[in-house]
Amino acid sequence: MAIDLEGLSFVAIDFETANSGRDSACQIGFAEVDGGVVRNSGSELCRPLWCDGPEDFDDFNIGIHGITWDDVSDKEYFPDVWKRISQTFGNRPLIAHNAAFDIRVLQYSLDEVDEMEFEPIKYTCTLVCSRRILELSSYGLPYVASELGVALENHHDAGADARACAEIAIELCRRVSAQSLDELLKIAQVRWGEFAYGEVVGSVAKQVRAKLPAPSQDASPDHILFGKHICLTGALPGGVFRRDAIERIAYFGGIPQNGVNRQTNILVVGDLNPQFVVNEDNLSAKILKATALRESGQAIEFISGYDFLSWLD
């Protein structure tokens, strides 16, 4: 069934830089999307603000994108190019693949120009979204494009990369049946970022806490963990994964907890000796909270990871 993408509207961007400085953009790529379709795309070379000659172009960067000082020496400075081409962007949000890089390039390149103040712009990242939706060995632009059937020709040309980013965002929406970027980010559990004059708030994945398993109804009430509220802190010995330990707690009728509270009966303290935790510095927040609750009269037992694992057999 076809997904209605009439409400999908954004501008994908990409930058190439002359050197490792985030204020050295030498090419701008863009792809404007309305109604789930790329309506306009392109790229322009530009002169970085602080580049005065060939020595400002690193061989490493040239080896990636092939752009040299001779290509941009007679071009407009970056802020002038951005001001001109962004006039058609309107209030549409921006999107980039690895936006942490591209948005910083935009920030650093515009912050030096006083008259470039503008209203805050929302943005997000197809790399971050892809990590939440796809299962790949790498989430670089070529890998995600290949997975989603998006053509990527002339990789590291800013225009080609911006268009591929736009197509990736469209295909991600189709993959999860999202009709807008708002819906895509909600499904992927990713926050909007915001770019304003002098300030950037990152577009990052939200912390998704796994639902804890319920205690087994068939567990024996004679088991030492049965009916106990149990919290873990620190790494368990022997390379045991915390999720596996939590499932075993529930299997034996225990009640696993993400944090220490007034219901907690047992705090498992990784591979430390619980006899010494109340005297150690730099303790975890869970140990400190459990210690305070115990001093106030709550019966919380500290046990070592080794003792805990022996109860799971």
Higher-pLDDT residue of 78 and 207 is: 78
- Asked if the model's pLDDT at residue 115 lies above 70, the reply is no
Highest mean pLDDT among 96-105, 194-203, 268-277: 96-105
CATH class of domain segment(s) 229-310: alpha beta
pLDDT band at 279 (very low <50, low <70, confident <90, very high): very low
Residue ranges of domains in the chain: 10-201, 229-310
Residue-level pLDDT at 278: 46
Among 72-76, 204-208, 222-226, which is the least confidently predicted range? Answer: 204-208
Higher-pLDDT residue of 245 and 283 is: 245
Dihedral class, residue 177 (left if φ above 0, else alpha if ψ from -120 to 50, else beta): left
Residue-level pLDDT at 283: 61
Residue-level pLDDT at 241: 79
Q: What is the mean pLDDT of residues 1-27?
A: 93
Distance CA 31, CA 42 (A): 7
Q: Domain 10-201 maps to which CATH number in 3.30.420.10, 3.40.50.720, 3.20.20.80, 3.90.1150.10?
A: 3.30.420.10
Question: In the sheet where 229-233 sits, what is the strand order?
Answer: 255-257, 229-233, 266-269, 301-304
Residue-level pLDDT at 255: 95
Residue-level pLDDT at 253: 94
pLDDT in tens, 40-87: 999 999 999 889 999 999 999 999 999 999 999 999 999 999 999 999
Distance CA 298, CA 8 (A): 54
